[in-house]
Amino acid sequence: MTAVKEESGQEDPSGMPGGGDGYVPSQRRLDRERFKRTRARRATGIAAASTLVTGIVLYLVVVNAPGWPRTKETFFNGQYAREAFPKVLEGLWLNVRLLLICGVAVLVLGMLIAIARTLRGPVFFPLRALAAAYTDFFRGLPLIINLMIVVLGVPALRLQGITVDPVLLGGTALTLTYSAYVAEVFRAGIESVHPSQRAAARSLGLTNRQALRHVVLPQAVRRQVPPLLNDLVSLQKDTGLVSIGGAVDAVRAADIIVGRSLNYTPYIVAGLVFVALTIPMTRFTDWVTARMDRQRAQGGTL
Amino acid sequence: MSDIGSLSKGSSPVLRMESVRKTFGDTVVLRDVDLEVASHTVTALIGASGSGKSTLLRCANLLEDIDDGAIWLDGEEITDPRTDQDAVRRRIGVVFQAYNLFPHMTVLENITLAPRRVHGVDRTAAEQHARELLERLGLGTKAGEYPDRLSGGQQQRAAIVRALAVRPRLLLLDEITAALDPELVGEVLAVVRDLKGEGMTMVLATHEMGFARDVADQVCFLEGGVVLERGTAEQVFGEPQQERTRQFLRRIVEAGRL
């Protein structure tokens, strides 16, 4: 498929730019373009054929598997799918809200941690060390263990005034882990801004803080938009993990029906709903990345 | 040193350096540098690459801490650790070899950033002043453009405007034409000539010997971390006293740069 994409980037031969100076394309150019068109057509043909063959082979392998009839009944049952779909969608609203709230919290906390890690001077050593320890710990800790500790462990303390709501606790756990990821993305961005930019800002009399705020951070954040969106896509599907604490999100909604019916179709439904939710976000990420690459290409000297 | 005194036109020097030493690890870049820059004069620093010209400028602006010696700006010692370094930098403009414009801001935003954020000038006044300066340097139509849409010469002129916008007491120019195509060098040097005409005090590190000879009141030849020879342009270029200066100038002439 990529071959097709590359070729479509070529100029349309019928719309050759004339330049308005009476330019007539040479035979050499016409020959070249005819060759490129043939090559593009052949590449498209091969891609289509190989996709079709792969699809057919996969279908035959699955359908002819000894356990297929039983698998079909437990995973792809139309009746259970229809029953599960509205419940899963209802649960999904919780996932969306979690994504929005945790997303904002993660960006803010991640930025604060990243800034703390770049502070210079001995005064800031404790802050710097704390931020480094935080990212080391939460980046290494598996999210599911973090969730279990927070969602199950915190209520076990029976502390007054601390929530036992699995949604709030689950959201807290997600924020803790993802802030560590996002902090590293921001830090990489801050360090990618050339020191000469900071020198220019300082030479104008800006304080360290002003240089960071007006010169370094805007460039760092802009550069890191694609990886940030990537982390948000990850966060979006990981909101499904709050179900382990009993919060009724899309996964838990499916779980309830599965528990009652012993049919796994609702899981498939929930999975597809997450995929459907993630695809627009992924496409958006691709679009933003491509747009920024184009801008950079135009930038030339930078 | 008596010739320097005659250049100062009776006023105390804007910039004075005494026995400045600066090392990077084991590399001694400035061994023992003395320098005096009188008000409304242009000082050109010449010397081979790596002779410490850029480092000297960075030290003068406190972008680098010096190891020993002292630097005074308008009679105030700025290398005293109690000095407010940000306040010192506010009085000194710097133009860099690689322009160092902020790529995420328009030309106008680049120029008004420091007046607005550092000097508290309100937006309208800052923009008006910026537009006047842009107009004067032939960039009147470029205010709304992003730096990467400008040619190298235009970018460097915009960087000069940015440095001038804070009305600096002293302007440091660090090989500002070294990254430019030959046909763009002239437009930038013309700006520096104009600034000299307006009485701006400048220190410039340069490889453009013809220009240095033309515009500088004082020429300093740096070699081995010291100012090996100094004097008026006629003295240093016309009758160099030191053998190393003569060698350096001979090589420059052979390379067709003078």
pLDDT tens per residue, range A173-213: 999 999 999 999 999 999 999 999 999 999 999 999 999 99
CA distance A213 to chain B (A): 11
For chain A, count helices (H), then strands (E). Answer: 14, 0
Strand B218-223, strand B226-231: pairing: antiparallel
For residues B175 and B253, membership in a common domain is answered with yes
pTM of the model: 0.81
Tell me, yes or no, whether B77 and B27 share the same domain.
yes
Could you tell me the CATH number of the domain that includes residue B50? 3.40.50.300
pLDDT-derived band at A5 (thresholds 50, 70, 90) equals very low
Asked if B92 has any chain A CB less than 8 Å from its own CB, the reply is: yes
- Both B157 and B184 in a single domain? no
Domain boundary among B117, B147, B168: B168
The reply to whether B192 and B157 lie within a common domain is no
Q: Residue B2 pLDDT more than 90?
A: no
Question: What is the total count of domains within chain B?
Answer: 2
CA angle, residues B153, B154, B155, in degrees to nearest 5: 90
Whether residue A92 contacts residue A250, with contact meaning beta carbons closer than 8 Å, is answered with: yes
Domain of B35?
1-89+169-258
pLDDT at position A3: 42
Is B158 found in the same domain as B79?
no
Final residue belonging to a domain, choices B138, B168, B198: B168
CATH topology for A84-292 is: MetI-like fold (1.10.3720)
**In chain A, where the domains are located:** 2-63, 84-292
Q: Is the pLDDT of residue B5 over 90?
A: no
Hunting for tokens 């990981």 — which residue is that? A238
> Are B123 and B99 found together in one domain?
yes
Question: What backbone torsions phi and psi does residue B248 show, to the nearest 5 degrees?
Answer: -60, -50
Smallest Cβ–Cβ distance between A219 and the set B93, B103, B147 belongs to: B103
Helix axes B123-136, B107-117, angle to 10 degrees: 130
B243 and A CB contact within 8 Å: no
**Is there a single domain that holds both residue B203 and residue B79?**
yes
- Give how far B157 is from chain A: nearest CA, Å: 15
**Does A42 reach chain B within 8 Å, measured CB to CB?**
no
Q: pLDDT tens across B154-183, in order? A: 999 999 999 999 999 999 999 998 888 888
CA torsion A52→A54→A59→A64, rounded to 10°? 130
The verdict on B129 touching A (C-beta cutoff 8 Å) is no
**Structure confidence by residue, pLDDT tens digits, B45-97:** 999 988 999 999 999 999 999 999 999 999 999 999 999 999 999 999 999 99
Contact state of A197 with B93 under an 8 Å Cβ cutoff:
no
Distance in Å, alpha carbon of B174 to nearest chain A alpha carbon: 12
- pLDDT at residue number A45: 96
- Alpha helices, H only, chain B: 2-7, 53-60, 85-90, 107-117, 123-136, 152-164, 182-197, 209-215, 233, 243-254
* In a shared domain, residues B70 and B36: yes
Q: Are residues B105 and B229 in the same domain?
A: no
